[in-house]
Amino acid sequence: MSPTLIVLGIETSCDETAAAVVDGSGNVLAHAVLSQMEEHAVFGGIVPEVAARAHLAHLDRLIAKAMTEAGVAFADLDAVGATAGPGLIGGVLVGVMSAKMIAAVHKIPFIAVNHLEGHALTARLTDHVAFPFLLLLVSGGHCQLLGVDGVGRYRRLGTTVDDAAGEAFDKVAKMLGLGYPGGPAIERASRAGDPKRFAFARPMKGRPGCDFSFSGLKTAVRVAVEGLPPGTISETDTNDIAASFQAAAVDSIGDRVRHALEMFSATSDGRTLVVAGGVAANTALRAELEKRACAAGFTFVAPPLALCTDNAVMIAWAALERFKLGMTDELDFKARPRWPLDPTAPPARGAGVKA
């Protein structure tokens, strides 16, 4: 990829408003991000309209900030990329329309980036991972195992049949009064907890295939909380439930990944396991995945923590990868609330399943 290429990336799919400028050598020239955590914390989760309004209020300023920090003008850009799905459609539209405007005014290509592909390709930016590789994509809205054969070329090996892992972390944290976002809160509480006190089942463990399930685990936590004497849930109880939940979730994910490593080895010569998405910041999960990868003879790669959660660097990089291959989009491209990486995969079946 030519080091002289410069791309602006825009991310507005959920509750982070972000803009970044990245060059063809993978140098991050600038990254401006605004978290909406405080706005949503009072609701215990993300409110789509609140998120969209915040993107609308702050995106222009963040783009200007990123361009200034990078020391480039719009005339210096080779392309502009934006998350065009999947995500909260109101927020996605804010980013897509801003990118299209920049592309139209400055006569540069527009690139519609799949948010999930942004996560998937981050390891190529940070660790120069070669295709093919096995990807665990684990976040608040998605939990999938995919074979990554190239840009735009994905084979889904497994997905959640109900909730995503990140959603489960958020809901359990809310049950325990630990606040939002739930992932970091659960991990902090777990450090002081006994992971063996509550014998939560490991969903899907031992079953064939690579699919995930977390709905039953959430219900088990709720039953455990309700089984304690009303008004007497101590800090020790909270920490023990958090630790027991995290251990169950990590163990379940590890079992699914073990199956995926076997399946991937049988169909591909790649020997790298990559984890991406917000839940990839969990240190217990990272340790479990590294253990599983090592046992299977795979190299384990996890991006830096700052690039696990939603960010515009990954969108700019994905746009660069696509631009290099001539994958640009017309200005009539429609934003998508749902956009599977592997559109040929059969629909997942289960209560509450998400595309």
Q: What is the pLDDT of residues 198-219, one digit of tens each?
A: 999 999 999 999 999 999 999 9
Sign of the C-alpha dihedral computed for residues 345, 249, 191 and 166 taken in this order: positive
pLDDT digits (tens, 9 = 90+) for 143-182: 999 999 999 999 999 999 999 999 999 999 999 999 888 9
The CATH number of the structural domain formed by 6-121+307-324 is: 3.30.420.40
Mean pLDDT of 231-257: 96
User: Would the pTM count as exceeding 0.85?
Assistant: yes
CATH topology of domain 131-302: Nucleotidyltransferase; domain 5 (3.30.420)
In the chain, CATH 3.30.420.40 covers: 6-121+307-324, 131-302
Q: Could you tell me where the beta strands, DSSP code E, fall in the chain?
A: 6-11, 16-23, 28-35, 79-85, 110-114, 133-138, 143-150, 153-159, 272-276, 299-301
Mean pLDDT of 300-314: 95
Asked if 92 and 12 touch (Cβ cutoff 8 Å), the reply is yes
**Residue 43 in this model has a pLDDT that exceeds 70:** no
